[in-house]
Amino acid sequence: MKLLDSDPASTDIAIDPYVGMICVGYHKASNRVRAIDALTQRVLWEAPPEVQCSETGVPAVICGGRAYVVTDTAIWAVALYSGRLIFRTMLESAVQCGFGKPNLWDPCHPSVPGTLVAQTIRDQYLGIERGYGSVLWTLPDAKDLGPVPVPGGVAVCAFDGQQLSTLLLDPNRGPDPV
């Protein structure tokens, strides 16, 4: 029996100091997102049934001590260590994917409040509160590359009408570049 049925491009992998090599992806038999320890080949958790994903889609991205499951306009935040559902939020447009993963980044430590950044297919960045899932701010004209983690924040590319610029955002401050 397979522990995960998602293909390697649809499975996110993270090296965690407490768990080891954790893989999050889709499991067809249970029709759920699940996390496994790749080194011991054991199931760590299965997400609650309300966390939906597509077998062929990009189910999850691991960052900020969480697995963010993305399906079209929905984002579910699941605790990386327990599989507990933290929040579900619905967006006005779908999260954009690039390089096989959702363009989404959470630079925060798992135990602190903060903001994650998501890029939508409508070319905008959203700052989403990581405890409850509410949209805190919007930055229009987000182009090309998705959010990229850098020390102190998130680097994004935005178009001001004439040129593409790289901006450093502190997600907790909002869409004003640092």
Q: What is the pLDDT confidence band of residue 171, given thresholds at 50, 70 and 90?
A: confident
Measured CA to CA, the distance from residue 71 to residue 13 in angstroms comes to: 18
pTM: 0.83
- What residues have CB less than 8 Å from 168, skipping those under 6 apart? 150, 152, 153, 154, 155, 177, 178
pLDDT at residue 78 tops 90: yes
* pLDDT tens-digit readout, 90-122: 999 888 877 667 778 887 878 888 888 888 888
* pLDDT tens-digit readout, 51-66: 877 655 666 888 888 9
Place of tokens 């090599």: 21
Give just the sign of the alpha carbon dihedral 151, 137, 69, 100.
negative
Place of tokens 């889709």: 26
- What residues have CB less than 8 Å from 17, skipping those under 6 apart? none
The half-sphere exposure of 90 on its side-chain side, counting CA atoms within 13 A, is 1
More confident residue, 147 or 134: 134
More confident residue, 88 or 174: 88
Q: Residue 140, SS3?
A: strand
More confident residue, 1 or 69: 69
Measured CA to CA, the distance from residue 22 to residue 19 in angstroms comes to: 7
Measured CA to CA, the distance from residue 131 to residue 133 in angstroms comes to: 6
